Structure 1
Amino acid sequence: MSTTSLLVVPRLAAGRLSALRLPPTVILSLAILAVVIAWSLAPGLFTAYDPARGIPAHKLLGPSAAHWFGTDHLGRDLYARIVHGTASSVTSALIAVGIGVLAGGLIGLLAGFLGGLVDTLLARLVDVLLAIPRFLLAIIIVTALGFDTVNTAIATGISAVAVFARVMRAEVIKTRQATFVEAAFLQGGSRWHVLWRHVLPNASRSVLALAVLQVGLSILVIAGLAFLGYGDPPPASDWGLLIATGKDYLKWPWLVYAPALVTVAAVLSLNRISRWLRRTD
């Protein structure tokens, strides 16, 4: 082996390692996301306070070592309420994205692969959904279903169907024209075999980054609906409901900025991770 070849191998290895190296902002976003997931899975490990019970003598205390985010108007520890409210906010967002991925992905998959009249009809349905503002559509649906966190998640998921359908349809159309898909047909593969074996795995790559982004957007929509009173009533501790309760006590601003900062940090972290996934795809 020549000297030039010996020098090229370490350079290629170093290039691959540098490609795997995560940017600091992505590492921070992953750390924040890990904390949020841990809060939602085991809130009791992070706080010993009961989120529903308070001490009246300790009401409206500022942030301190005993109460990291202060206390509310009933003497309840705000940090405990945020931690215990994470499960509801995160679970609702995951349900919403699951509905959007399944329903929207199926619509986009069939429209892009079958084409013709099926594509035209499904594309018009997607256009109708896209013409209605997402938040307004979610309010209409949750009003029809009833005020509840699960119904809020369903409404948010239905409002996201059109976004996933549009992206999936575009990816399927691009993948359907690839050489390996034509080769699969020439080898005798049936339409449905080619669809599930070749088109779907390759077309769904872009959906992953979109799904991560939509989790953050769903958290915002669900928090907004809870803020307006469309979610679970008190003493629930959804992030949007905590912000809505805190706005009545602006003299004690931590009641608003603590849950708001947690919500913003989670959403921005998911947004950053989604952007990183798109670049590495």
Structure 2
Amino acid sequence: MTIPTATEDRKVTRALGRRSWLRRLRGDGGRPIWRQPVAAAALAILVVWLLLAVLAPLVAPYDPLAQSADTYVPPSGSHWFGTDSLGRDVFSRVVYGAQLSIPLAIAIVALALLVGGTLGLLAGYVGRFVDETLMRLTDLVFAFPQIILAMAVTAAFGPSTRNAVLALVIVSWPVYARVIRGAVLTMRGEDYLNAARLLGVGPVRALRKDVLPNSVGPAIVLATLELGNAVLMLAALSFLGLGPRPPAAEWGSMVALGSQDLSMWWVSVFPGLAILTVVLAFNILGDALRDRIDPRYAKGR
């Protein structure tokens, strides 16, 4: 019988840990996500919105910035969602709003995950002074309500799309740092990391080859859940006049415009429903991914 070497044992153990969440994500041992009715419906909603964002010039019947004398026209055959105070077609603006809100939310989550994930990996793996310093920094950011801190940052730099994204990245990265740090701390005693140290593997390579791949599962779940929050926070900043500047078609600013005259309900209701469906779909999909990757959540329900 051949006795495996330390290097072979490390590779096998590392691969098993990496593949465990991949098998659960594919649905091994249970129904995959796309066969769960609620999760499948949420995924279908997101696919529809993504298609609308990509095909907006073909789907929208009017120019979203074109003004006309037909102001406050209620929903009809010529204007499915009616028109606003400047005579702009609300349906066209909602469709084009997907081109702005969804990509910006993805950019916010990607940047926050990059910053927070990197800091979380360092804090969890290095520990000691680095861990203490980074965690106190996250506590400092957590001490402020997200929307208040985002408003302060955006107001300091000036209202714009770029500054709104920057502000939301600043307030969002700590949650990724905490989650990734927790995942890394659970790995520190694993056999493959101990074997890596005995074999003289440096910390940078260990982080890249061993720790990072096994942290992908929690990061995917958190990022999916935070996509809905990013859409909502961006809409909140735009509602307050701190996001993309008019006349850009952005859902939050459209709701703000409609709130000036609530008797013309369609101006704010339809972009509000767009926000609701996208945020709800991301949250449902994130819950389904969490239940699949970590079944302990499903058992606790």
User: Normalized against structure 2, the TM-score is what?
Assistant: 0.84
Q: What residue identity is the alignment partner of 2:275?
A: T
Using the alignment, how far apart are the partners of 1:176 and 1:90 within structure 2?
A: 36
Pairing of 1:19-34 with structure 2 (within 5 A): 19=32, 22-34=35-47
Check conservation: 1:152, 1:225, Cα contact below 8 A: yes
Does the alignment pair 1:239 with 2:251?
yes
Pairing of 1:127-142 with structure 2 (within 5 A): 127-142=139-154
Q: Which residue number corresponds to residue 143 of structure 1?
A: 155
Using the alignment, how far apart are the partners of 1:73 and 1:197 within structure 2?
A: 56
User: What's the secondary structure of 2:35's corresponding residue?
Assistant: coil
Give 1:19 deviation, angstroms.
Answer: 4.3
Name which of 242, 250, 255 aligns with 2:262.
250
Does the alignment pair 1:221 with 2:208?
no
Q: Which residue number corresponds to residue 192 of structure 2?
A: 180
Label 1:46 to 1:159 Cα distance change in 2 as closer, same or farther (>3 A). same
Check conservation: 2:33, 2:289, Cα contact below 8 A: no
Q: What residue identity is the alignment partner of 1:32?
A: I
Give 1:185 deviation, angstroms.
Answer: 2.3
User: What's the secondary structure of 2:234's corresponding residue?
Assistant: helix
Check conservation: 1:96, 1:158, Cα contact below 8 A: no
Using the alignment, how far apart are the partners of 1:154 and 1:20 within structure 2?
A: 33
Aligned pairs, number: 267
Using the alignment, how far apart are the partners of 1:17 and 1:140 within structure 2?
A: 46
Check conservation: 2:141, 2:171, Cα contact below 8 A: yes
User: Normalized against structure 1, the TM-score is what?
Assistant: 0.90
Q: Which residue number corresponds to residue 189 of structure 1?
A: 201
Give 1:21 deviation, angstroms.
Answer: 5.3
Using the alignment, how far apart are the partners of 1:175 and 1:194 within structure 2?
A: 12
Q: Which residue number corresponds to residue 107 of structure 1?
A: 119
Using the alignment, how far apart are the partners of 1:224 and 1:243 within structure 2?
A: 10
Q: Which residue number corresponds to residue 299 of structure 2?
A: none
Check conservation: 1:129, 1:162, Cα contact below 8 A: yes
Using the alignment, how far apart are the partners of 2:34 and 2:134 within structure 1?
A: 41
Gaps of 5+ in 1: 1-14
Give 1:35 deviation, angstroms.
Answer: 1.7
Using the alignment, how far apart are the partners of 1:168 and 1:18 within structure 2?
A: 27
Name which of 248, 271, 285 aligns with 1:273.
285
What's the CA shift string for 1:30-54, capped at 9, x where partnerless? 1111122122223112112111113
Using the alignment, how far apart are the partners of 2:48 and 2:31 within structure 1?
A: 26
Between 1:151-160 and 1:69-78, the stretch displaced more is 69-78
Q: What residue identity is the alignment partner of 2:81?
A: F
Name which of 161, 183, 204 aligns with 1:171.
183
Check conservation: 1:99, 1:158, Cα contact below 8 A: no
Using the alignment, how far apart are the partners of 1:119 and 1:39 within structure 2?
A: 44
Using the alignment, how far apart are the partners of 1:88 and 1:30 within structure 2?
A: 20
Check conservation: 1:175, 1:203, Cα contact below 8 A: no
Q: Which residue number corresponds to residue 88 of structure 1?
A: 100
Q: What residue identity is the alignment partner of 2:260?
A: D
What's the CA shift string for 1:223-251, capped at 9, x where partnerless? 00000001233211110000000011211
CA RMSD of aligned residues (A): 1.7
What's the CA shift string for 1:204-229, capped at 9, x where partnerless? 31011111111110111110000000
Using the alignment, how far apart are the partners of 1:24 and 1:207 within structure 2?
A: 24
Q: Which residue number corresponds to residue 12 of structure 1?
A: none
